[in-house]
Amino acid sequence: MSSDKVIHVTDNDFDAVVLKSSVPVLVDFWAAWCGPCRAIAPVIDALAADYDGKAKICKMNVDENPSTPGKFGIRAIPTMIVFKDGKVVDQITGAVGRAAIDTALNRAL
């Protein structure tokens, strides 16, 4: 079950949705075959609901969108990057607890 508040971004709309956003953006780089990615999916959905209006919560499938992960040096998934004003302000790699993601997001708010 995916939250309707999670924004699925692609290589084509990444700049417009993420880099030009007026609010901080968390991007979850994931793939369908990645077990840890699936494990944190409910956390990502909950964040999207909880941060609605304060931050954007996005997901990018690295198999379908190879260009953007390459630009940001994504070597392992899941990797979550927090962007603010078009710049990387935090990065988390691996299936971490919600508290770690909250901390990264709150630093950007």
Q: Are strands 79-84 and 87-93 parallel, antiparallel or unpaired?
A: antiparallel
Supply the pLDDT for residue 3.
Answer: 61
Query: For the segment 58-89, what is each residue's pLDDT rounded down to a tens digit?
Result: 999 999 999 999 999 999 999 999 999 999 99
φ, ψ for residue 15, nearest 5 deg: -60, -45
Supply the pLDDT for residue 66.
Answer: 96
Query: For the segment 2-13, what is each residue's pLDDT rounded down to a tens digit?
Result: 568 999 999 999
Supply the pLDDT for residue 1.
Answer: 44
Residue 84 in tokens: 């603010």
Q: What is the set of domains in the chain, with CATH numbers?
A: 7-108 (3.40.30.10)
Evaluate if residue 97 carries a pLDDT over 60: yes
Catalytically annotated residues: 34, 37
